[in-house]
Structure 1
C-alpha cells in the first residue's frame, strides 16, 4: 500500500504531494489539492472532469493489452471500437487510427448502463411484477367466477324444472277434469237406465196381477207400452283422450337452457411487439357485398331529451350505452334493460368503454376524471389537472387511451395510461405541428390490431392514425364518391381484420378502410345519423344512432 494512503496518514495531492487532497479528476484518475486542481483544469488539451474527492467514481479497472503483456489498455480506438494500449497506437496494428480517451468512452457506456438499469428497475421489472400479480389475482378469483357460472347454471336448471313441473301439473289437472266429466256423463246414463228399469219392473208386476185376476175390466183397460221401451236409452260414447308426447330436441333444449361459449385462451404479445399478426394472424373474413341488419335495440333515450351518444360491447348480445343524461344502461338484443348506473358526480358521461375484464370505464369531462365501475362500485382512477378528458378506449395491453383538451381549449392530445400512471402522450407530428384539432369537439378513438391509434377528429374532418410510438401514419379525409355533404367522422372502431370503421354522420353511413387508410366500401343498412360505434368479438358492428336512440347490430363480414 502507498504510504500516503495508509489509514494513519492524511491523504495528499498526487501532484504536489504536500497538501491534503480535496478533488479528483475522473478523466486523469488523479487526486488534487485546491491549487493543483486549478492548474490541472487550465490544460485545455483535455476535457478534465474535476469533482469533490468524496463524489469521485471508483477507479476504472483497465484491461491488460492482449498484444503487449506489460501494458494496460487506457486508450480507445474509434475505428476498431476496442480498448488499446499506447504501444498499439504508436507501433501496432492501430497505428494511425482515430483514438480517444477510454475514460470518456467509459463515461458514455456507464451512462448507457445507468439508463438500462433505470429502465429495468423503474419500468420493465415493475410491469413484470404487475403482470405476475395480476395473474395471481386472476387465479384467486377463478373459484368465485366459476362458482358464479355454476350457480347461474343451477338457477337456470331450477327455473326450467319449475316450468316443466308447472306444465306437468297443468296436464294432470286437465286429465283429472276430463275424467270427472267422463264419469259424470256415465253416471247420468246409468241413472236414466235405472229409472227405465224401475218402470219396466212395475209394468211387468202389473201385467202379472191382471193375468192372475182374470178380471175383464182390468184386461180391457190395459194399454201396451212395449213400443215405448223398444227404443233403448241413448248410449253414451266418450272417446278416451291419448297423450302424445313430443320428441325432445336436445339442440333446442340446449339453446333454451342458455349458451356457454367455449373457453378462449389467447396469448397476447407485449407492448414492444410491433404487430400481433407477425405471430398469429386472424382468419381472413371477406367483406359482405350486402351487409345485413340483424338486430335493433331501443335504448329508451329520447331525441329531444336524452340523445344517444356511445355504445360499447360487453358481449355478443349485451351492450353498454350512454347519452345526454347521467345514466349508463346495459341492454340486451331484445331491448331489455339489464342494469343502469348513474355517474358519481351526476354529470353526463362523455364516453364509455369496456375493459378486458368486463368492467365499465367512463370519462367525466366536467369533473376532470376517468372512472372505473367494478361490481357496480365507482372508483376514480385518473384525475386531471389543466386538462379535460374526452373519449376513451381500452387497448389489447389493458391500457387506457384517452383524448383530452386543455382547459383553455388551445391544445389537444391522446394519453396512454396504465392504471392511473401516464405512460405516453401523443400531441405533435415530427415537424412539431399539432396532430389533432384544438377544441373540445368529438374525438372518438380506437386501437387497431397492428397497435395503431385511430382518432376520428370531427372538427378536422379527418381520421388521424398514428403508430404505437405516436408517429403519424396517415390522415383519411373521406371518399369523393357520392358524398352529399362534407365528411364529419364521429364514432370509430376496428375489427379482427385491422379494418377501420368510422361513422359518417351527415351522410348516414359507415366508411370501411384498410389498416393503411385505403377506402374499401360503405355500410348503409338504413342507418340514420350514426354516432357511436363498436364491434363484438365476432366482428358484428353496433351503431348508436343519435336521434332515433336505437342501436343497430350489423353483420358486414
Structure 2
C-alpha cells in the first residue's frame, strides 16, 4: 500500500513522512498499493492499472501523475441559484463562487478562475505549511525551549558558584576579623599588664616610705623622752629632718582608634553581583532556507599544493557549534593547545583553559587589566606562554609556573609560539616605537624586526601576531590599520589594508593552506567581519560577516581538524565553523 505524505509536491519529494495514511488502487477488485493518480478521473491507481488506463481509447490522453503530485478533487457543492449546477468557478473581480449559469448571466467579461485548480493549489499550500511546521517550526521551537532550559540550568550553576564564592569570601573575612580581634585583645592585655606592673612598683615605693615615716616618728618620740634628752642635744640637726616624698608619674593610658568602615567598604571587600547593562542578544533562530551560509569569493581560488589536494575551500561556511567559556567575560584572544584544549582571555585579566567539551580546566589571574591583545600562546610541547605586568611567564603541562624572560623597558603586546621551529615571537612597543623580537625556546634573543630596508618603521602597535606555513610573520597592527607580513628574515612582503573600507585588524591566524584569517572589529562600525586572504595578501572573501550573526569578532584560531574558532569581545561565546572540505 502506498503512503500519502502531507508535503509539497515535487519540491518536498524527498521529505520524511508526516501524518501518513494508506491509499489503495481505486480500480475494482485491485488491492495493490497506489502509486499514481489520474487527475481527470480523480482516481488513484497502481502501476498495472495505469498502463491499462493508457490503453483505453477513452482515457489514453488523461493526465496521470505521481500520487503526491495529484490535483485535489473539488468537493461537490450545488449552486443556490441554479440547484442543478455545481459550483466550479471563482470570479476574481467579485470574489464569489459561481456555476456556469451564474457566469454567463451576471459575470460576463469578468476574470473567471477554474475553482478545481484553485482548490488544488490551496490544498497543496496547506500541506506545505503542515510540512514546514513539522519539519522546521516545531523542531526549532523545541530547540529554543531546550536552550531556555539549558540557560536556566546554567544560571543555577553560575549563581550556585557565586553563592559558594560569597560564603568563602565572607568566611575568609570573618577569619581575618577574628584574627585581628584576637591580636588587638592580646595587645590590650599586654598594655594593661605593663601599666599595672608600673603602678604596683609605685605602690611598693610608697609603702616603704610609709614604714620609714612610722619608724621616724618613733625615733623622734624617743628623743623627747626625759631619759634621752641629752641625745636630742647631741644629734645632728639633719637627722631630725623628714626625707622627701618619692616622686612617681601617672600612667599614660592607651587610646583606641576605632576602625573606619561602612557598608560600601564591606561591599568592596566581599564583592557584589553586577547585572550587565548591555542589551541581551536575541536567541538565534535557524533560517528556513538553509543551514549553511554561502561564500562569495571575489577572485578565483588557486590550486592547492600536491600534499594538500584533499583540502579545498568550501563553497559555504557551516556553523558546527558554539559554547560559553566559563570564568571569562569575553573572548578577546584564543590559543589552541593540544587535544582540543583552548586558552581564552577576556578584558578583565582572566585567562581560562577549557577542554574540547567546554569544561573549565584551570584559570589564571593576570596582574593587569583592560588588555585585549594577543598576549598568550601555546608552544609545540603544549606549554602556555603569556605576558604578565613585568615579565613573560611559562606554564608547563604539569602546571609549573616559571619566568620565561624579562623584556626590560619594552612593553610586550602580543606573543606567538612557532609551530615550525619553536621560536617565540613577541610584539612590543616603547616610546612610540614598535618591533617584533624572536627568541629561542631557551629565552635567548636572536632577532629584532623594526624597519624596512629604506628605514621606514614597520609597526606601530602590533597587538596580534601569528606565523604562516612558509615562515612568514603575520602581524595585526591596529596602529597602522593593516596586516603587516614579513618573511623569516624580516623583509616586508606586503601590507593588507582592506582598501575602500575602514579596517580595524584584531585577532589573526593562518590555516593549513596558508590562508590568512583576520578579524575586522570596530565597536562604532556597522560592518564587522572576518577576512580571508591568500598567502600573498590578496583578498579572497569575507568568510564571516554580520549577516551570519558575527557581531564583534576579535579572535580567531584553527584546530587540528581545520575548524575555525571565533571569539567575541562582548560575550564569552566561542563559535566554531567548518570552511574547508
Give your verdict on TM over 0.5: no
Query: How would you bin the TM-score normalised by the shorter chain?
Result: 0.3 to 0.5
Q: Given the two structures, how large is their TM-score scaled by the length of structure 2?
A: 0.43
Q: Given the two structures, how large is their TM-score scaled by the length of structure 1?
A: 0.45
